[in-house]
Homo-oligomer: A and B are copies of this chain.
């Protein structure tokens, strides 16, 4: 089943690809690699779950925020290559989690995006990951994510 059909089956609608908040673009393709700009949990023009994990945002809200930011990343990949069918492999997920100094639930939060990627792409969605607890975040976002993907010729 194609990734987009799979998402539809799961009741997930791909959002429009969010616009940049500065003098840059939201994706670039170089050879067979596509990389996105930092994706935030924008949903219908609203920043969802603003604040810090461990304080204003609990871990399950963080999981949902990572899923929303991940959907935005998928929208960027689709914008880059026309269809998610042309994504051969998700290569890397950079997971930046805005949090308190004591917070240690980064892996669970980021699984919100990782689980989405595997739901959509199956084994082709398995990716490498970094997970960092960030001190200060633009726009008070609770997560910022970057996805790198290998795409078809």
Contact = CB atoms under 8 A, between A and B. Distances in A.
Given A30-B91, A91-B28, A91-B35, A99 B130 contact: no
Interface string A102-117: 1110111011001100
A91 to B, nearest CB: 5
A9 to B, nearest CB: 19
Contacts of A36: 128
Interface string A4-25: 0000000000000000111111
Given A100-B136, A136-B102, A23 B115 contact: yes
A146 B132 contact: no
Contact of A93 (B24, B111, B129, B139): B24
Question: Do most interface residues of chain A lie in helix, strand or loop, or is the interface mixed?
Answer: mixed
Contact of A114 (B23, B102, B135): B23
Contacts of A97: 136
Interface residues of A, number: 56
Contacts of A24: 93, 114, 126-129
B129 A37 contact: yes
A49 interface: no
Contacts of A26: 128
Given A25-B126, A107-B21, A136-B104, A131 B91 contact: no
A27 B128 contact: yes
A57 interface: no
